Amino acid sequence: MMAEKIKVLIADDIEATRENIGKLMEFHPEITAIAEAATAEEAIEKAKSVRPDIILMDINMPGMDGITATELISAELPGSAIIIMSVQGEQEYLRRAMLAGAKNYLVKPFTGDELVQAIKQVYANEQKRRKVSVLPKPPMQGKIITVFSTKGGIGKTTIATNLAVALADQAGVKVGIVDADLQFGDVSLFLNLLPQATIADLVRDIDNLDPALIASYLTPYNDNVAVLPAPFRPEQADTISGSHLAAILKTMRTMFDYVIVDTAPMFNDAMLAILDASDQILVISSMDLPTIKNVKLCLEIMESLNYQSDKVKVVLNRADSVGGMEPTEAEESLHCTFTATLPSDGKTVVGSVNRGIPFVVSSPDTDVSQAVFSLAKTVTSGEWKKKQQPLGVVGKLKRLFG
Ligand SMILES: Nc1ncnc2c1ncn2[C@@H]1O[C@H](COP(=O)(O)OP(=O)(O)OP(=O)(O)O)[C@@H](O)[C@H]1O
Ligand SMILES: [Mg+2]
């Protein structure tokens, strides 16, 4: 097979020069002059349309000079390498041309051999450089953040969806949401999406699992957030196993910076697989005693699963709901510091669900949105508050937990 020809654009204001260079090239079948330009402006325009491998650029042209054109072309068309042509005595110009991105230079008058050698050398260097830059990148290692609680109706889906959208907006990162509340998942509802396919469809095709397959089952929310929806019908939940979920999460972390997993309030095989795969588990608590008792139990189970204490964090939701307990009392009882505290704000939160718009979008200035933004910041900075030493026990809770 014949190798591809090196395509050259000649930019020089003197017609005779362009002709001479063209003639020199005729003796070299591996090089072809595909276009000519008499001004820098014309060179830029033609470079954009013909995409030459090499541009021979005269420094001194009427109007824009060759150095400015070199700067513009190197920024916009990295596939076109520029060789500067100058007459003797323009040393300072040459230095500037190289700084502007020129790859080599020729001093007029030059011989055919000098010209061909310069073109071939720059071309070969560019090919080498391109090969290096298209080496496969190591796959993305996104973080899996699971929102969990042992109790229903506590705010998991509210926090999972708003955190996902806040992360994407704030940090400009790609976020995937997996609705692993396999029986009654409502992430799509919270985001006002009408999915065409769900995780149950993906699992039917699990033998062919790869990023492209997963992508075909995702429902986009916006450019940066996409959802893998829960099955349409509760009975389909049984078709999805822990190992399916582990495989899906492992692949999804190569596609997204963050994968947020919304869950059902239970400890089963599927849930354990998710918790194991997670980098971070956000256990959602509220301030009523039954919930705190459950959260405490949940933290004990996670400890028995040998999760590092840094992996499990507690988020307090509806912090100021009535009941007479202070957040610090809840922290003391749980022997932890809340990573985030979301106030109760029924008007904003329920209103946002009913409209299918996350409150971080519809009401970014409210305290509850600000709390989610600050949680998102903690996630991206990785600066989670350290677990606190036990602080002693509040009387009310002492009775409960001994
Ligand atoms: N901070 C808050 N202030 C006021 N209402 C809230 C707050 N957080 C959640 N809610 C409301 O509580 C209800 C339950 O929230 P959500 O559906 O997020 O909980 P969940 O833990 O996902 O529940 P389930 O276990 O059923 O999936 C919703 O109506 C939601 O609007
Ligand atoms: Mg939910």
| The CATH fold of domain 143-397 | Rossmann fold (3.40.50)
Q: What is the pLDDT of residue 135?
A: 64
Do residues 134 and 248 make contact, with C-beta atoms less than 8 angstroms apart? no
Model confidence band, residue 390 (pLDDT cutoffs 50, 70, 90): very low
- The mean-pLDDT minimum among 186-200, 225-239, 326-340, 381-395 falls in 381-395
* Residue-wise pLDDT tens digits, 81-112: 999 998 876 778 878 888 899 999 998 888 88
Helices (H), 134-268: 156-171, 187-190, 199-204, 211-217, 242-252
Do 189 and 356 meet the contact criterion of CB atoms below 8 Å apart?
yes
Query: Ligand 1 in contact with 157 (CB < 6 A)?
Result: yes
Instruction: Using the atom order of ligand 1, give the atom closest to the CA of residue 262.
Output: 22
Task: Flag whether pLDDT at 211 surpasses 70.
Answer: yes
What crossing angle do the helices spanning 112-133 and 15-26 adopt, rounded to 10°? 80
* Listed range (66-70, 117-121, 318-322) with the worst mean pLDDT: 318-322
- Which of 3.30.365.10, 3.30.70.20, 3.40.50.2300, 3.40.50.10260 is the CATH number of 6-133? 3.40.50.2300
Instruction: Give me the mean pLDDT over the 132-160 stretch.
Output: 87
**DSSP 8-class letter at 184:** T
The reply to whether 143-397 shares the fold of 6-133 is yes
Task: Note the pLDDT of residue 395.
Answer: 38
Distance CA 56, CA 60 (A): 12
Q: Is residue 402 predicted with pLDDT exceeding 70?
A: no
Query: What is the gyration radius of the CA atoms in the chain, in angstroms?
Result: 31
- Average pLDDT of span 152-168: 97
- The arithmetic mean of pLDDT across residues 124-153, rounded, is 85
Rounded to an integer, the average pLDDT of 63-78 is 93
Q: How confident is the model at residue 322 (pLDDT cuts 50, 70, 90)?
A: low
**E strands within 236-319?**
258-263, 280-285, 312-316
Q: How far apart are CA 90 and CA 105, in angstroms?
A: 11
Question: Span 55-82, mean pLDDT?
Answer: 93
Residue of higher predicted confidence among 402 and 331: 331
Distances, alpha carbon 15 to alpha carbons 2, 11, 12, 152, in Å: 32, 10, 7, 80
Ligand 2 geometric centre to CA of 257 (Å): 23
C-alpha 63 – ligand 1 centre gap (Å): 66
Among 99, 106, 86, 80, CA closest to 7 = 80
What pLDDT, on a 0 to 100 scale, did the predictor assign at position 94?
A: 78
- Closest-CA residue to 186 (of 220, 153, 235, 149): 153
- pLDDT in the model for residue 133: 67
Q: Does residue 80 have its Cβ closer than 6 Å to ligand 1?
A: no
State the pLDDT at residue 96.
Answer: 86
Q: What atom of ligand 1 comes closest to residue 318's alpha carbon? A: 1
Identify whether the C-beta of residue 55 lies closer than 8 Å to the C-beta of residue 43.
yes
- Mean pLDDT, to the nearest integer, of 355-372? 97
Residue 321: predicted pLDDT: 64
- Of 59-63, 84-88, 136-140, 280-284, the range with the highest mean pLDDT is 280-284
Of all residues in the chain, the percent with pLDDT exceeding 90 is 71
Which token pair is 154? 């506590």
pLDDT of residue 401: 46
What would the mean pLDDT of 25-51 be, rounded to a whole number? 92
Q: Is 370 in the pocket of ligand 1 (CB under 6 A)?
A: no
Burial of residue 251 (CB within 10 Å: 0-12, 13-18, 19+) is middle
pLDDT, one tens digit per residue, over 247-259 is 999 999 999 999 9
> What per-residue confidence (pLDDT) applies to 400?
47
How many alpha carbons fall within 13 Å on the CB side of residue 237? Answer: 17
pLDDT of residue 178 exceeding 70, the answer is yes
List CB contacts of 106: < 8 A, sequence separation 6 or more: 56, 83, 84, 85, 86, 114, 115, 118
How remote is the CA of residue 157 from the centroid of ligand 1, in Å?
Answer: 7
Residue 389 has pLDDT above 60, yes or no: no
Say how many Å lie between the CA of residue 32 and the centre of ligand 1.
68
- Binned at pLDDT 50, 70 and 90, residue 137 comes out as low
Average confidence score pLDDT of the chain? 90
Give the pLDDT of residue 128. Answer: 86
Q: What is the pLDDT of residue 131?
A: 76
Distance from Cα 152 to the centre of ligand 1, integer Å: 9
pTM score, two decimals?
0.68
Query: Would you kindly state where each structural domain of the chain is located, as residue ranges?
Result: 6-133, 143-397
DSSP reduced 3-state for 228: strand
pLDDT exceeds cutoff 60 at 387: no
Closest by CA to 67, choosing from 96, 44, 92, is 96
Atom 4, ligand 1: residue with shortest CA distance: 346
